[in-house]
């Protein structure tokens, strides 16, 4: 049982992020004695110190935090010095444009417009936090409805969805890609 709790404590430390978590909070969540929590944290700390791991546990004002090891700082600095590219594939951009202009929309409806499977593009957009689930459609299977969010507006420098470029009323299949390009070309400077 200790091994199971140790994994749960590790997950709680990770999930608590920058705020951290107290031993009292862990004891309450797991419904275990306070002393057991301290023992589990000591075991995790030992594991992190005596195995080649990239993380460790620190305690500050009775709050525990999961953090990177200071001896690896030079590598973290290199990572920060090399900015990530946030370019999206054409399929992801098309999917985002479809969601932005047709929200709320289901994955099946997106695929009907694009004509191809859009699972990966939707998952990418969810991971980038540019779209989110906004409910479920009242139909068979109650599929998830997707829409853009505040992060989408911020990412593209929009104050509201009303700021989206106008699309022509007559859009045929050959111009769908051009419409997506029109939308995203307006914001390429924001992406870079």
Please give the CATH architecture assigned to the domain spanning 90-191: Orthogonal Bundle (1.10)
Tell me the C-alpha distance between 96 and 103, whole Å.
Answer: 10
pLDDT digits (tens, 9 = 90+) for 57-88: 988 888 998 888 888 888 877 777 765 555 77
Using a 10 angstrom Cβ sphere, with 0-12 exposed, 13-18 middle and 19 or more buried, the burial of residue 125 is: buried
Rg of the chain over Cα atoms, rounded to whole angstroms, equals 23
Residue ranges covered by each domain of the chain: 2-79, 90-191
pLDDT digits (tens, 9 = 90+) for 8-38: 999 999 888 878 899 999 999 999 999 999 9
Tell me the C-alpha distance between 68 and 82, whole Å.
Answer: 18
Does this model's pTM top 0.75? My answer is: no
Tokens read off for 183:
């939308």
Q: Up-side HSE of residue 54: CA atoms within 13 Å toward CB? A: 5
**For the domain 2-79, what is the CATH code?**
1.10.10.10
């Amino acid at each position: 049982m200790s091994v199971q709790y140790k994994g749960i404590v590790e997950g709680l430390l990770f999930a608590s992020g920058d705020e951290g978590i107290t031993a009292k909070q862990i004891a309450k969540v797991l419904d275990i004695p306070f002393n057991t929590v301290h023992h589990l944290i000591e075991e995790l700390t030992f594991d992190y110190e005596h195995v080649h791991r990239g993380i460790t546990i620190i305690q500050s004002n009775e709050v525990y935090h999961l953090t990177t090891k200071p001896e690896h700082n030079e590598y973290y600095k290199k990572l920060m010095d090399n900015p990530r590219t946030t370019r999206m594939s054409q399929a992801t951009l098309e999917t985002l444009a479809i969601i932005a202009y047709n929200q709320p929309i289901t994955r099946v409806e997106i695929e009907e417009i694009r004509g191809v499977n859009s699972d990966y593009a939707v998952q990418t957009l969810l991971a980038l936090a540019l779209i989110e689930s906004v409910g479920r459609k009242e139909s068979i299977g109650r599929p998830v409805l997707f829409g853009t969010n505040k992060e989408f507006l911020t990412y593209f420098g929009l104050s509201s969805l009303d700021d989206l470029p106008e699309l022509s009323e007559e859009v045929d299949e050959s111009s769908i890609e051009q419409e997506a390009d029109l939308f995203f070309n307006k914001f390429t400077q924001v992406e870079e």
